[in-house]
Amino acid sequence: MKKLAIVAAGGPAPGINSVIGAATIRACLSGVPVLGIQDGFKWLSEGDISHVVPLTIEDTSRIHFRGGSYIGISRANPTRSPEHLQRTIDALERLDVGMLITIGGDGTATLAHIISEKTRGKLRVVHVPKTIDNDIDLPDDTSTFGFQTARHVGVEIVKNLMVDAKTTSRWYFVIAQGRKAGHLALGIGKAVGATNTVIPEEFARGCPVPLSHVADLLAGSVIKRLGYGRPDGIVLLAEGLADCINPEDLARYTELPRDHMGNIHVAEINLGEVLEKVVKERLASLGLKATLISKYIGYEVRCADPIPFDMDYTRDLGHAAARYIIEGGTEAMVAMVHGRFQPVSFQDMKDPATGRPRVRMVDIDSDRYQIARSYMLRLKREDFDKPEELARFAAAAHLTPEAFREQFFHLVKDEPTNPDGRVG
């Protein structure tokens, strides 16, 4: 019987070991031998088949408690050249692999599809979606595995920062991972009751935005908080915001890392430090001084031990992936919707415009986002409509109400004045 190989690629996420363990157990009970491909596609793409380990029930039955990856992981991408892709396929054939389970994000899903097409059905391929960004377009708002654990651990970190902020009268600008979407930043910010949370989806209709606009948005939170007598606060910021800000503005404050094609590497931009500096400058222009500290959350949450939700969820995913592929399934992503396994074909995952898997963004028109937004302490349209509130915040900024309106009303000018308080 052909072997089943399991490979984890991309960045770590809590729950990888649960998928590996459950898939291995399901396959072994069906009499299918299982191989663990070490370090992602790093070695296979070089034609090296020595970095492979047999997986057994005894080896994997208790690995689901721990974070990280039992078989390692890497971002090596065999599609970077036809030669590397062919070496990968040849290596799998030499290993007598007839079934491949890939664990990864949208990039790995694309790679899985390419391998499936290239082998013309000889190699069955099933993908298990993994990313703490939660941005793979799964059905019915189903989270990607690892997201709930990452949020949980992130919340614990930010809870401590909130106590520190209040104790020391300072502000923390916390940057949460999320290349394109703001799910993790919003999930942490909403759960802890952060002073403000800013995500890229807010600016989707007007991207790119001036850096000064984002600076005013954050300065507005500091000023509003001061108006209520508090010199401290916590802001959650999605790293994908860097992609929404005018790059020429960013370039005045930091070097923009680019790849060989000239594309900006968002994750490598020191967004927190840039915003810390520009907001300090904005406040100083008003005669205000605040202690601002930037903090990044990403590596701390990627390899955390999974919480029970993700242990349960990922064991379902691993079992379903192995069962589906052993029974003849292929070219699909595994999804669990309302407790039921649902395969999503690689073709259905594609965005016709890009040819890559669709990215799931935060729906800013949803009640879940609107409720989160209603609790944020940021300048709102109603603050400018109430003379007593306008006077309060203007005084905190050392401005007249008229001058305050002139400098900050641009933040809310497009905000609808709905009777139920919803914002766009």
Residues 210 and 243 both lie in one domain: yes
Active site residues: 133
φ, ψ of residue 278 in degrees (nearest 5): -70, -35
Q: Strands 124-129, 196-198: parallel, antiparallel or unpaired by DSSP?
A: unpaired
Q: What is the pLDDT of residue 418?
A: 54
> In angstroms, rounded to a whole number, what is the distance separating the alpha carbons of residues 260 and 285?
39
> In angstroms, rounded to a whole number, what is the distance separating the alpha carbons of residues 201 and 238?
10
Q: What is the pLDDT of residue 265?
A: 66
Which residues lie closer than 8 Å to 220 by C-beta, 6 or more apart? 378, 379, 408, 411
pLDDT: which is higher, 300 or 168: 168
**Sign of the C-alpha dihedral, residues 256, 241, 377, 149?**
negative
The residues facing 197 across adjacent strands are: 236
- Indicate if the pLDDT at residue 353 is higher than 90: no
Is 333 inside any structural domain?
A: yes
Residues 292 and 209 both lie in one domain: yes
Is 80 inside any structural domain?
A: yes
pLDDT digits (tens, 9 = 90+) for 265-321: 666 788 999 999 999 999 999 999 999 999 999 888 999 999 999 999 999 999 999
CATH of residue 202's domain is 3.40.50.460
Sheet holding 196-198, edge to edge: 196-198, 233-238, 171-176, 292-297
Could you give the number of structural domains in the chain? 2
Q: Tell me which residue of 235, 43, 10, 214 sits closest to 127, measured CA to CA.
A: 10
Residues 114 and 177 both lie in one domain: no
Residues 209 and 156 both lie in one domain: yes
pTM: 0.91
Which residues lie closer than 8 Å to 127 by C-beta, 6 or more apart? 101, 102, 103, 104, 108, 109, 112, 332, 333, 334, 346
Residues 295 and 324 both lie in one domain: no
Residues 34 and 129 both lie in one domain: yes
Residues 128 and 195 both lie in one domain: no
Residues 129 and 231 both lie in one domain: no
Residues 178 and 294 both lie in one domain: yes
Is 74 inside any structural domain?
A: yes
Is 210 inside any structural domain?
A: yes
3-class SS of residue 399: coil
Q: Where are the beta strands (DSSP E) in 56-149?
A: 97-104, 124-129
**126-to-255, 287, 317, 412 alpha-carbon distances in Å:** 40, 59, 11, 46
Q: What is the pLDDT of residue 414?
A: 82
CATH of residue 20's domain is 3.40.50.450
> In angstroms, rounded to a whole number, what is the distance separating the alpha carbons of residues 99 and 112?
11
Residues 121 and 104 both lie in one domain: yes
- 230: exposed, middle or buried (Cβ count in 10 Å: 0-12, 13-18, 19+): middle
Is 208 inside any structural domain?
A: yes
| 280, 284, 289, 291: CA torsion to nearest 10 | 10
Residues 297 and 335 both lie in one domain: no
pLDDT digits (tens, 9 = 90+) for 186-205: 999 999 999 999 999 999 77
Domain that holds residue 227: 151-302
- Residue pair 369/204 in contact by the 8 Å Cβ criterion: no
Is 405 inside any structural domain?
A: no
Q: How many CA atoms lie within 13 A of 401 on its CB side?
A: 10
pLDDT digits (tens, 9 = 90+) for 52-81: 999 999 999 999 999 999 999 999 999 889
Average pLDDT, the chain: 92
